[in-house]
Amino acid sequence: MRHKKAEVFLIATAVMATLLCLCLLHGRVQENLRADELAKRSRMVEELMLTDLALFMEARYTRHLSLADRHSAFQDHPMSLEHFPAGSLAGPPPHLTGVER
């Protein structure tokens, strides 16, 4: 008895598993190829004394998340609550919410 469907399934699974392995391999190769790029960014951070990634740029306390303080989310007065969408994605840094020095 020929197992046509089983063979097709096993071949398809092997192809998909190979594709996944190729993706992982691509990741490793890229990590090595782009090491210089990463080193350049590290140098830039050192030279300009940068502290944050430019990821959430709509509010000052999300642009420089690590330098935010407990009050920055209140904007202009105590009832003027934080309203930027990034505020709900990027929570306050742990040194503000955890045990402070």
Partner 1 sequence: MFTGHRERNILEFTLSSLLRRRGKHLALVVIYTALVFLLASVMFFAGSIREEASIVLRSSPEIILQKMIAGRQDLVPMRYAEVAEKIRGVQRVSPRLWGYYYSPATKSNYTLMVPDNFSYGDGHIVIGNGIARVMSAAKGDRISLLSPEGDPLTFIIAEVMDSRSELISSDLMLVSEGDFRELFDMPEGYVTDLALSVKNEKELSTIARKLSELLPGTRPVLRDEILRTYDAVFNWRAGLMITLLGASVFAFAIFAWDRASGLSAEERREIGILKAVGWETSDIILMKFWEGAVISLSSFLMGMVFAYLHVYFTSGALFWPVLKGWSVLYPEFRLLPHVDLYSIFTLFFLTVVPYTLITIIPSWRTATMDPDEVMRA
Contact pick of 1, 77, 79, 99 for partner 1 (by CB under 8 A): 1
6: Cα separation from own chain's centroid = 40
The label of the residue with tokens 């699974």 reads 13
Question: Residue 61 class from Cβ within 10 Å (0-12 exposed, 13-18 middle, 19+ buried)?
Answer: buried
**Taking CB under 8 A as the rule, does residue 53 contact partner 1?**
yes
**Taking CB under 8 A as the rule, does residue 63 contact partner 1?**
yes
Number of residues that bind partner 1 (CB under 8 A): 63
58 close to 85: Cβ distance less than 8 angstroms: yes
Looking at residue 8, the DSSP 8-state letter turns out to be H
Contact pick of 11, 31, 80, 81 for partner 1 (by CB under 8 A): 31
Rg value, the chain, Cα = 24
Residues that bind partner 1 (CB under 8 A): 1, 3-6, 9-10, 12-13, 16-17, 19-20, 23-24, 26-28, 30-31, 34, 37-38, 40-58, 60, 63-67, 69-72, 84-86, 88-91, 93-95, 101
